Amino acid sequence: YCVERDQKVCSISFDAAWGADNTQKILDVLADYGVKCTFFVVGNYIDTAPELVLRMVQEGHIVGNHTLHHPDMSAIQDETSFSAELNGLADKYRELTGGEMKKFYRPPQGKFSESNLAMAQKLGYRTIFWSLAYVDWYTDDQPTDEQAFSKLVPRIHPGAVVLLHSTSATNARILDELLAKWEALGYRFASLEELAGEK
């Protein structure tokens, strides 16, 4: 994405592959701030936490495609198998919400091949990576608040696409203060559509 170097704007995304324990709290904080994020969900998440996916949609967040089964997509080289992962998830989303999924796709673990990028584009998807993340996904080995702030606060940058995991208890606990710290640095939070120049 192309933003001016002095344009303090970033977009926050959450990967939601499993476990809904902390998502409720995260959504509460986002609602308090009026911040719109992108939640990249997998099929299991729609099956096990449909009410949270509906809440994401109702509160104006983008629900993005993180595949049906969360495989290593770089190992998939044929279009039929590739499209089954994206279309299968989009079908589940449509069945739940009655609407069409926004065409944003994030490969599980960021694993991809050049042919994957072409296949996603052929299906109408933008492949979305990230420019700021930290190790927050081990549920039984969570970073302390201080470790999280030390990784996330100084590394924010114009045009950042932030990746957090909604399974993280640390993220749920610090999100309020994290948003406040970034705001204090002059940042505002844009939707992925705005950052991608679609709004």
Catalytic site positions: 15, 165
b/e burial code for range 105-119 (CB count within 10 A of at least 16 → b)? bbbbeeebeeebeeb
d(CA 82, CA 85): 5
Instruction: Point out which residues pair with 104 in neighbouring strands.
Output: 126
CA distance 172 to 156: 19
- CA separation (Å) from 191 to 47, 63, 79, 147, 162? 25, 11, 30, 26, 11
Identity of the amino acid at 197: G
> In this structure, are residues 187 and 9 in contact, taking their beta carbons and an 8 Å threshold?
yes
CA 112 to CA 91: how far, in whole Å? 22
